[in-house]
Every structure is written in structure tokens, then in C-alpha cells.
Amino acid sequence: MKLLRIIFLVFICMSLFGCGDDGKVGSLTLGTPFATNNGDGTYQVGATATYSNPSQSNLVGVSITFKLIDTATNTIISTFSDTTPTNGSFGCQWTVPQQLTPQGFLIVASSGGLEDTKSVSVPALGVLSVASSSITFTNTEPAPTIKQNAISGGTTPYSASSSNAALATVSVSGNAVSVTRASNATGTVIVTVTDASPTRQSTSFSVVLQ
């Protein structure tokens, strides 16, 4: 009878109070995760974990461990542990670089056998591109004629370079690259545009000088 009473009490504890496997009473809950665009080709992802105990109001010093897991590879990207303040809650966040494909992550919070998991996603980085694959300066458009090519995708600020500055120079303002004919000589110049994302995307177009 004594053994049955002990088993019954343990069952009540697990059912009503959510005891962890180390005997910790209470519950651990992750709030809704967030994914915030930093505007530089990275996202800030994170969530807040809250530990509650039905019989304890002072929850200072409860240790909670966070993990960020890449769902595509099931790889733990980062682990962080800290102790709670008096309200039993604290958050954790990470900076995640965008990729050319969407990314999915799991945020896991655990404490003494109690655990909660939430998923969060980071959208794909827009592919860097230019409006025209080729710009032509005719022989009736002498130096220093200027033409522009619009840029889209990727992450600003953009930069550009010319394969032959003696024939054509380049500059970037906002979402456009300006090409200035620097010589009345003929030839072809390749202009390369690069974005500021962590992946450093680049694209190019040709400039034909007649």
C-alpha cells in the first residue's frame, strides 16, 4: 500500500504540476517566436521562455537553456544558458544571415527536464539583378554621356565596378548604377554590381561603346 501511495503521488505531480525528470515542479513555456528583418541581409530571431511554479512566487535563479536548431540539417547552431530574474522569464535571440532559399529553425527552451519548442522561419534573400543585361552607347552619344541601369534584390547599399574605366566609369546612387562614357573609343566594358548582404551577391551587364 505504501508503494502504491508513492506511485500515485508521483503520478499526480507529473499530471498536475508538470514535474521535470529532475523533479522540478512547474511548467516552461516559450512565447511566440519573432523574426525581424535587420535590413542588412540578416534577421534577428528569438523567443522568451517563462517558467512558472504553482507553489512558488519568487522564481529568481531558475536556469534555462536555449538552443537554435537548423531544421534542414538538424544541426544545433547555438546554445545559450542563463538564470531567470524574479518574474521567471527571459528571452534569447540570434542574428541569422539570409540565404538564397528560405530557412527554418527550431527554438528549444529546457530546464530540469521541462521543455518547449517553437518553430520560426527566415525568408529567402532577394536575388540581385539589373534591369538590362546590356547598355549601348552609339557613335552619336559621345563622352561624357551618362546612362543608368536599375538594380533590384539583394541588400543595399550596392557597389559597382568597371572592367575598363578608361572607356566607361560607374557610380551607384540608391537603386541605380550610372555608367558614364569616358572615351569616344569603341569597345565593350563589363560592369559588376555587388550587394551588401553577408553572402555578397553579384551580377554583371555589358556596356557596348560604338
State the Cα–Cα distance between residues 183 and 143, nearest whole angstrom: 6
State the Cα–Cα distance between residues 112 and 51, nearest whole angstrom: 11
Which domains are delineated in the chain? 26-122 (2.60.40.150), 129-209 (2.60.40.60)
The pLDDT tens digits for 105-145 are 999 999 988 999 999 999 999 999 999 999 999 999 999 99
Tell me the mean pLDDT in the region 94-114. 95
The pLDDT tens digits for 146-186 are 999 999 999 999 999 999 999 999 999 999 999 999 999 99
